[in-house]
Amino acid sequence: MGPLTGIKIIELAGIGPGPFCGMMLSDMGAEVIRVDRLGSRARGQDVLNRGRKSIAVDLKSDAGREVVLKLCESADAIFEGFRPGVTERLGLGPDDCRARNKRLVYGRMTGWGQDGPMAQAAGHDINYIALTGALHAIGPKGGKPVPPLNLVGDFGGGGMLLAFGLVCALLEAARSGEGQVVDAAMVDGAAALMAMFFTMKAGGMFQESRASNMLDGGAHFYGTYETKDAKHIALGSIEPQFYALLIEKAGLDAEDFSAQMDQSRWPEYQEKLTRVFKTKTRDEWTAIMEGSDVCFAPVLALSEVAEHPHNKARGTFQELDGLTQPAPAPRFSRTGVSLSHASRAPGQDSQQVLLDAGYDAEAVAEMIRTGAVSIPE
């Protein structure tokens, strides 16, 4: 019984940020019905698609389109991740859906946004974050920008932004009685994630050359170091007292390392720390520093994270149908959240979703026969 229990949301199936948004909402207890394309096939378990029902619909048919519109009548929200104008051409745009339910919130997930000169251009996470300063800021000194996986655009600035926007609009609709359209653009979300760095740049605290700043790997006390066994550790010893403890536990001369914020000495200090951390294995350094105020952590691979004692104690990773995956987050003191079920095959719940929507068994059978909806073979 999560905090969104009782909320019903329709998800027009897409990729990347859309499914992540659906996962976030279903993890919190919302009933999310995923509308998959006719002919879609499951490729094993998909963590991003967990917790939802699936109905496979031919959106280009009149009967299939009517199914989605009927689902909207009893839904609180619907969201999609197509290029601007696609759902309008399908007869499933905001005006079409909200004509059936004025309280309906309509979420739109795109890279460039619903308008602007780039709105109709193809793109991916790396392109969207390139326009925000985020990509330019990440990478080695003297090297090229390095994409931080697709975490900043697709997920942090995309799917999570859309989930936040939907919940905001749902709260407003509860007061006003009327829904609205949520335009969640990854370029906007990634820009919002960079807010602090605009403050730092304005205050002369952020240089635009990579790995020259405190938080981008330029500082010797905030970054990663290779260990004796070719693994890595991560340091974040920013505050003076934490920095002093780092120097102590690393066995270094406090006087030699006293100029913590003198950027001219950062390269020298980095070289010395690089040599020091290669004298012990990652696990040996972990035994010395982990859990202290050094602000230290071992850098773990995906295959290692579930076994770390802290993650095990909190249940940060859980196993569902044999697949290890992140647990729902955040956590709530009263309305607990939990994993419900693994991803469904496209159309696995088609019959039940239609029956729940008010169609009788004969109408359901006819839609399956004519191909307006489908069920797994």
Q: pLDDT per residue over 174-184, tens digit each?
A: 999 999 999 99
Instruction: Note the pLDDT of residue 44.
Output: 84
Q: What are the residue ranges spanned by the domains of the chain? A: 8-193+331-374, 222-314
CA distance 230 to 281: 8
Range 222-314 classified under CATH 3.40.109.10: no
- Given a cut of 90, whether residue 16 has pLDDT beyond it is no
Confidence bin at 40 (pLDDT 50/70/90): confident
Q: How far apart are CA 102 and CA 87, in angstroms?
A: 18
Radius of gyration (C-alpha) of the chain in whole angstroms: 25
Share of the chain above pLDDT 90, in %: 97
pLDDT in tens, 4-13: 999 999 999 9
Active site residues: 124, 154
pLDDT for res 259: 98
| Pairing assessment for the beta strands 53-57 and 77-80 based on DSSP bridges | unpaired
SS3 content of the chain, % helix, strand, coil (to 5): 40, 15, 45
DSSP 8-state secondary structure symbol assigned to residue 158: I
Give pTM, 2 decimals. Answer: 0.96
Tell me if 8-193+331-374 shares its fold with 222-314: no
CATH topology of domain 8-193+331-374: Rossmann fold (3.40.50)
Nearest residue to 34 via CA among 70, 71, 84 = 71
pLDDT in tens, 248-259: 999 999 999 999
Q: What are phi and psi of 27, to 5 degrees?
A: -60, -30
